[in-house]
Amino acid sequence: MCEKIYYSFITRDGYKGNAPKYFEPSEFEWSENIESNWEGVKKELDAFLASGHELWPYFDQSIVTKKNNWKTIPFGAWGVKFYGNRKKAPFTSALLDKVPGVVSASFNMLDAETRIVPHFGDTNAVMRCHLGIVIPGSLPEVGFEVEGEQKSWEEGKLLFFCDAHNHTAWNDSKSFRYILLFDVIRPEYLKKKRWICSKVLASLFLQSSAQKLTFLRKLPLFMQMSLFYMAAFAAFFIVPLRNFVSNLIKGA
């Protein structure tokens, strides 16, 4: 029986469920295709950076020890597709399109001597997947931790974890760390994929809005929840239309 889906915006005191900390990549047949093509992903990342394209600072700077030192370039985010960025990385995008239930993807950089502070992710309904691309070291210098259990990234290897658990990452080396990050809906929740994406998008929208409109944080909880469900309902219908129009403009 599936456990109840957790959303960080609804349950404010963190995830207390029983999802595994880490998932085993070998249990998913598509993982072999990702790992066997990792050098093609690396070539595309190298070309992307060499052409002068820049990664964007992660929107929530409060969870990084050094401002603008955690950067990303998204190809998709919770069902929203960035066709302009996908065209800059066609090999990687095509590779990820073969993964059932993928809803987000990005190249992800963690700068030298930078840490991501412990935090809970948005939902337990996904596996967050990391493909090591440029890994400048291993534990204890460079690593990842979920609920006290540490692991090292490896170039060309996948690391899967439940993003809802309290987790952190660090790069105490003198070089950049690059991964391909992508979110995959867990098989038991796949039928609810669109609603899961809509609710997480609503949460991210309200979190981002509250950074600029601080009065939102002071609203009574019932008003915050009303805004959350209205935003989720809007995202459910707007995202497919937005993707269709964006594909016509940038994907052609």
Average pLDDT over residues 205-211: 82
pLDDT of residue 211: 73
- Pair of tokens at residue 79: 């069902």
8 A C-beta contact, residue 24 and residue 166: no
pLDDT of residue 13: 87
pLDDT of residue 175: 96
CATH superfamily of 22-190: B-lactam Antibiotic, Isopenicillin N Synthase; Chain (2.60.120.330)
- Which three-class secondary structure state does DSSP give residue 88? helix
pLDDT of residue 60: 67
Which residue, among 128, 137, 185, has the nearest Cα to 158 in the 3D structure?
128
How far is it, in rounded angstroms, from Cα 251 to Cα 55? 20
Average pLDDT over residues 37-41: 97
With tokens 């981002």, the residue in question is: 208
Instruction: List, for residues 164-206, the tens digit of each pLDDT value.
Output: 999 999 999 999 999 999 999 999 999 999 999 999 999 998 8
pLDDT of residue 76: 96
Which residues on neighbouring strands pair with residue 168, listed in sequence order?
145
**Stretch (H or E) spanning 229:** helix 221-246
Strand ranges for 155-227 from DSSP E: 158-162, 167-171, 177-185
- Exposed/middle/buried for 12, CB within 10 Å: 0-12, 13-18, 19+? exposed
- Pair of tokens at residue 81: 């597709």
Domain range list for the chain: 22-190, 193-251
Q: What single-letter DSSP state applies at residue 59?
A: S
